[in-house]
Each structure stands twice: as structure tokens, then as C-alpha cells.
Amino acid sequence: MIVVDANEASENSKMVEALKKVVEVAVKPLEAGDYLIVGASGQALVERKRIFDFLNSLKGRLWDQLTLLKSFEGERLLILEGYLGLYRKSKWNEAAILGLIDRIVLEWGIPIIPTPDVKATLTYLVWKHKRLGEERELREYPLRVSGREMTPQEQALYTLEGLCGHKTAKALLTNFKTLGDIMELFHSHSVLEVEKMLKDVKVGGRRIPSNTIRRIHTVVNTVYTEPSSTKVEREDAEAGGEGIEGVGARMGAQEEREG
């Protein structure tokens, strides 16, 4: 399986559809990375950066993303997509850029995989998936990673963030004090009742959106059942054998038409 981060999937829907032709794909919010590749022999967490995004993030968020990536227990990879020489057009210091790349690989221990375009990125992801071995039986896989042991307060916030994001989770805990009280609120009342009870809870000066409240309510009250491998087997059969080359060729042709 390849798990695609929800934000990455929304920005690259064509790539997700192409991946679905050859592998089992799930779209979930990932705490770190853009692609979580799950196979019989291991797992790999992949951060994908296009060249200008990579350059623009060097002085800020990239290092936070790499910190989370490094905490993952499995292979950690950074895909660098596009022509690296573009930094010369942006007047970046060449020695500084190459030095930072050296630091990522040698000090942080995160290999960098260069790809010239989205077609090559797709090809690599599918190849890596096959390299790890296709998982015929569904297995548990981590969707969130933590780089250190947390206090009970931090764990409560971390748990609730998975349902509604950091700011909303913090606002709910500030108002209701415990994670248990929040779960009880959503479990013991209807959606409309919960919305009324939360009307005075503000996040950034605004009320919590109705769709967020409804999502939390649905998750809290959904009965858990073990997933079945039937869906995986059926979709593999429907894929019919279109391999990396076929999907990559179609994406390349599509890019040429659009570009």
C-alpha cells in the first residue's frame, strides 16, 4: 500500500489516480512526509519537494519537516523533483545549497532521490513499493509519528489533533479540561446539541466549523470493525497488469498536452 498525505493528494490528484492503477492507495493525513510506502519487508516515509519549494523552505519549514521525518522508524527519503541548477536563476549561493544537501544526507541521515519530473517521481514510488514487497494482508501502519516521549497533557493534545488539528484541539482542551470530557461530550449528545454547546468556543476568534464538529462526532461514534483484504485483492485484479511504464507514459503524455 502507498498512503498519500491528504494535502499532497488534494494538490496532485492526477498523480494519485495514476498510482491507483498499479498499487493499493489510501489517502490519509500524515503527520510527516507525503507518501508512506508499506510493504511486506518494511516501510518507507517519503517527503517530496519540487526544486523551488525545496529552495524556499531551506530557511524555515524544511528542517521541521525533516525532524519529523527522522523520527519515523523505517526508511526516510527525500525526493528532490526537477532541475537543481535552477537555483542559479534565483541567485542562491551555490556552495550554501550544496552544503545544505550534504548536511541532509550525511548529518541527518536522510537520502535524497533526484527525479527530473513528476513522471519519474511516480515511477520511483511504484518501484520502491515493489522493492519493499507488496503486502497481501492489510497490516497496521503508523499515520502519525512523534520524536520524543510526551507528557500526559501533550499526549492528550496529540491524540485530539488527529481529529481536528492543533488549534481546535487546544481550544477544546482549554475549555473542557480533559480528553475524556471531550469524548463524552461527543458521545453522549447529538450533533446539533454539540454545536450549541460549542458555540462559545472560539478558534482564532471564530466558532469551530460545523463540518469539523460533525467529523469528530462521526469518528467518536463509529463502531470499529477489522478491515478486509478483499478490496485490495479485487482492485489489484482490476488493475489488470498496467505496469509502471504504462502509467508513466500516460502521465508524460498528459503533461506534454497541458504544458
Tell me, what's the pLDDT at 153? 84
Pairwise CA distance, residues 17 & 23, whole Å? 10
Q: Say whether pLDDT at 238 is over 50.
A: no
Q: Say whether pLDDT at 255 is over 50.
A: no
Most confident of 129-133, 139-143, 186-190, 244-248: 186-190
User: Which 3 state secondary structure label does DSSP give 88?
Assistant: helix
Q: Say whether pLDDT at 259 is over 50.
A: no
Beta strands in 149-201 (DSSP E): none
Task: List Cα–Cα distances, 76 to 45, 110, 146, 205, in angstroms.
Answer: 5, 6, 14, 38
Express each pLDDT in 100-148 by its tens digit. Answer: 899 999 988 999 999 999 999 999 999 999 998 855 555 555 555 655 5
236: confidence class by pLDDT, cuts 50, 70, 90: very low
Query: What does the pLDDT average to over 70-95?
Result: 85
pLDDT above 70 covers a percentage of the chain that reads 81
Question: In 3D, which of 52, 115, 61, 118 has the Cα closest to residue 89?
Answer: 52
Considering only the top CATH level, what class is 2-138+230-258?
alpha beta
Q: Is 65 exposed, middle or buried (0-12, 13-18, 19+ CB in 10 A)?
A: middle
Express each pLDDT in 26-77 by its tens digit. Answer: 998 988 889 999 988 889 999 999 988 888 887 778 888 888 888 888 899 9
Matching residue, cell 519537516: 65
Q: Say whether pLDDT at 203 is over 90.
A: no
Tell me, what's the pLDDT at 94? 85
Tell me, what's the pLDDT at 257? 47
Beta strands in the chain (DSSP E): 2-5, 25-28, 35-39, 42-50, 75-81, 112-115, 202-203, 206-207
